[in-house]
Amino acid sequence: MTAITRRLMWVTLAAGMFVQSLFAFTGGGTVPLTIASVALLAATGVLHAWATRGPRFASVLLAAAAIGFFAEVVGVATSFPFGQYIYTPSLGFSLFEVPLIVPLAWVTIAYPAVIIARRLVGTAPGAARRIVRVAVAAWALTAWDVFLDPQMVDSGHWGWKHPDPGIPGVDGIPLTNFLGWYLVSLIICGLIDAVAARSQKVDGAPSDAAPFTVYLWTYATCVVGNLTFFERPSVALVGGLIMGAVAIPLVVVLLRDWRARRAAGSLVASGAQAGDSPR
């Protein structure tokens, strides 16, 4: 089952990346492409969770989606915690005025954010480390919205009644939105991290390459997209710095680990050659 799940995971990841690449040829994407990319990359996270720690761990992502949906329902109805906003009908079927694709969007980056935070901060026991880990994961998730919200507002999928004050360079999105995102992200990421800490990896579990790829791909395409066809260079700069606070350290750590493995492999090969040489 793990092998099949792993193969499906790479299929959904490749398909999601392909669909997102089509944004460049459709003026920044269409609603079907947006929905397809979110669904495929969310499925990638669920499949990775299943392949690494089993179906019970994967089910926590459904709970994460439910939390995201509940936060959006409360947000639309009360303006808390994001600010006063409203969804348009453009994103398809809605429930309580929230498009059903929105909860999946939370999961799409929430899961990679937690996996990355566990890699950067470490998984050793201790309350202080866990607090830092969840805080980093919540930052990683919220940082994505610096790119997402301007794109969705410009596409007419939702709008803000009071867009100011906001983050300099990210026009049209109130600061309260990002504060609300961070609050909800703390809850979602805290839940996923807590369940991960109590779950053992299954035999033959895949590496974390898939969620790492989802996050780094999202980061790169958001920066490039805002510099080019979205024509929002200030968002590319601000979002690049905020999301890059997690993405760049991840790249550094992955490169360091790759070099260490390469060096270790060279030492093993050198030792084998020395053992085979005549005396």
Mind listing the pLDDT tens digit of every residue in the chain (279 residues)? 578 899 999 999 999 999 999 998 887 789 999 999 999 999 999 999 999 999 999 999 999 999 999 999 999 999 999 999 999 999 999 999 999 999 999 999 999 999 999 999 999 999 999 999 999 999 999 999 999 999 999 999 999 999 999 999 999 999 999 999 999 999 999 999 999 999 999 988 899 999 999 999 999 999 999 999 899 999 999 999 999 999 999 999 999 999 988 887 766 666 666 666 554
**DSSP E strands, 19-174:** 85-87, 94-95, 98-99, 158-160
- Distance in angstroms (rounded) separating the CA atoms of residues 174 and 190: 25
pLDDT value at position 25?
A: 87
pLDDT value at position 123?
A: 93
- Distance in angstroms (rounded) separating the CA atoms of residues 100 and 120: 32
Distances (CA, A) of 119 to 108, 209, 250, 269: 18, 11, 8, 28
* pTM for the full predicted model: 0.93
Q: How many residues does the chain have?
A: 279
Instruction: Give the CA count within 13 Å in the CB-facing half-sphere of 268.
Output: 6
- Sign of the CA dihedral running 265, 268, 270, 272: negative
What is the residue type of 131? Answer: I
Residues whose CB is less than 8 angstroms from the CB of residue 24 and which lie 6 or more positions away in sequence, other chains included: 225, 228, 229
24-63 per-position pLDDT tens digit: 888 778 999 999 999 999 999 999 999 999 999 999 999 9
Domain boundaries, the chain: 60-259
pLDDT value at position 273?
A: 65
- Distance in angstroms (rounded) separating the CA atoms of residues 8 and 179: 35
Tokens coding 104: 């999946």
- Distance in angstroms (rounded) separating the CA atoms of residues 165 and 167: 7
